[in-house]
Amino acid sequence: MTDNRNLYRLLPKVDELLEEVDIKRLLASIPRRLVVDSIREELDILRRDIGRLSLNREQVLDRKNNLVKSVVDRAHNKDLPKLRRVVNATGTVIHTNIGRSLIGEKVMENIEDIAMNYSNLEYDLEKGIRGSRYSHLEDILVKITGGEAAMVVNNNAAAVMLVLSTLAKDKEVIVSRGELIEIGGSFRIPDVMEQSGARLVSVGTTNKTHLEDFERAITEDTKVLLKVHTSNYRILGFTSSVSAEELSPLSSKYDIPLVEDLGSGVLVDLSKYGLEYEPTVQDSIASGVDVVTFSGDKLLGGPQAGIIVGKREYIEAMKKNPLTRAFRVDKFTISALEATLRLYLDEETAVKNIPTLNMLSLTVDEIGKKAQRLYDILINAMEYKGLNLNIVDDYSQVGGGSLPLEKLPTKCIRISSETIGISELERGLREFKIPIIARVYRDDLYIDLRTVREEEYKIIAEGLKYSVGKIGGIVT
């Protein structure tokens, strides 16, 4: 039996470790308190292991020799921001878990200018008096969508809530049972309605709703006819739903506003780029919808935002709702959204410069070329016996609850191995300093080139080397 007390005495003091050359060097770039925390934590672990694992003298000395390195690693880790960039190798373009839409360079220039300077956020430059933060986006939204007026809040969930609270608080909203959806992050239409104070009147059945169902349900208390885009699922087979075009005359006849939650909010006809047709905001307005809401960071490809477009009288009422203050967007969102919307003034420019649209419109040949380039880089960067790399056909997804049935033909680099665990390889990639998020399917790892940009090829090569090395494989 070893005498534990003597072993504990082998451990250095915090102050002693702070005098180590490597740790002194660390202090030049990392805040002292993070370094001291790292030292304490590493010492605690070692102290605990002496008791728990009954380490012998030799093992303790061995661990002690590695202490400085462990502290350095831990401190570097602590120094990384918690919210970090990752590489999206999943092929899912609008991936809610890893940031939905990317901001392109042109839009970023605008954000930088507004972020680093004062701006006319709520200042009317012509009159020299207080202005409105909503004015900057209204004209361009009206121009692009064909609506009368527009406003922007923090996200589409807030937009739906604001619309219902303004138009139907303590009153009734009629919606089809087939459209009572839940989208990710527990956004459920019935729950949002309850929060807004509106009473839900659902009509029809799960698979079929007819115009008469709506008309029969109308009472004195009906204040909104609501259509919700069933973004993330489809009912197939024996189905029928009532279109906005059919509902519009009913809404006029009873003078009840027709509201549509479009979810994604596409502004260009995606079928031109080989995707399934998705109703655009312009279509919704043209078919007689009075108020339409949609997200800024799904298919639109801008910052997180909820956009509301429609008849002026309703939009004006919403601007006066106290909830608007709680849901208001900040200047970064306004500058990013304005710059993104400006790109839409020319469709070709939009598709070229908005990363979401750009990735969605890539052809399989273009992705194939990217796959070949990454493949060459990976093969040149490392040689690992037991790892097989191939370029294969596959499908990527749109994501963000948009076009759930759409399968976009793509090219992937498939990594398979008989000797090393693919799930370990995947974890190593995730733990790399720039985490790489890839897909695992049936014991193979897939890197989908649709969502990987050229400047990220090197990161993937380094990450793969890191991951293989970590597992204990031979990298040369």
Ligand X SMILES: *Cc1c(COP(=O)(O)O)cnc(C)c1O
Binding site for ligand X (CB under 6 A): 155-157, 183, 187, 228-229, 231, 261, 263-264, 295, 306, 401
Closest-CA residue to 286 (of 147, 144, 163, 141): 147
Taking the complex as a whole, the smallest distance from the CB of residue 73 to ligand X amounts, in Å, to: 37
Taking the complex as a whole, the smallest distance from the CB of residue 208 to ligand X amounts, in Å, to: 20
Q: Strand 182-183 vs strand 222-228: parallel, antiparallel, or unpaired?
A: unpaired
Separation of CA 23 from chain center: 38
Taking the complex as a whole, the smallest distance from the CB of residue 161 to ligand X amounts, in Å, to: 10
Taking the complex as a whole, the smallest distance from the CB of residue 262 to ligand X amounts, in Å, to: 7
Phi-psi region of 170 (alpha: psi -120 to 50; beta: other; left: phi over 0): left
Q: Closer CB to ligand X, residue 34 or residue 180?
A: 180
Taking the complex as a whole, the smallest distance from the CB of residue 211 to ligand X amounts, in Å, to: 21
Q: Closer CB to ligand X, residue 293 or residue 353?
A: 293
Query: How many other CB atoms are found less than 10 A from the CB of residue 123?
Result: 14
- Give the torsion sign (CA, 19, 23, 28, 31): negative
Q: Closer CB to ligand X, residue 55 or residue 175?
A: 175
Q: Are 188 and 196 in contact (CB under 8 A)?
A: no
Closest-CA residue to 294 (of 190, 214, 165, 183): 183
Taking the complex as a whole, the smallest distance from the CB of residue 305 to ligand X amounts, in Å, to: 7
Q: Closer CB to ligand X, residue 75 or residue 167?
A: 167
Q: Closer CB to ligand X, residue 301 or residue 306?
A: 306
Q: Which amino acid is at 379?
A: I
- Give the torsion sign (CA, 336, 339, 341, 347): negative
Taking the complex as a whole, the smallest distance from the CB of residue 98 to ligand X amounts, in Å, to: 14
Query: How many other CB atoms are found less than 10 A from the CB of residue 216?
Result: 11
Taking the complex as a whole, the smallest distance from the CB of residue 232 to ligand X amounts, in Å, to: 7
The residue at minimum Cβ distance from ligand X is: 263
Taking the complex as a whole, the smallest distance from the CB of residue 86 to ligand X amounts, in Å, to: 20
Q: Closer CB to ligand X, residue 187 or residue 273?
A: 187
Burial of 107 (0-12, 13-18, 19+ CB in 10 A): buried
Q: Closer CB to ligand X, residue 123 or residue 187?
A: 187
Q: Closer CB to ligand X, residue 159 or residue 447?
A: 159
Q: Closer CB to ligand X, residue 141 or residue 449?
A: 141
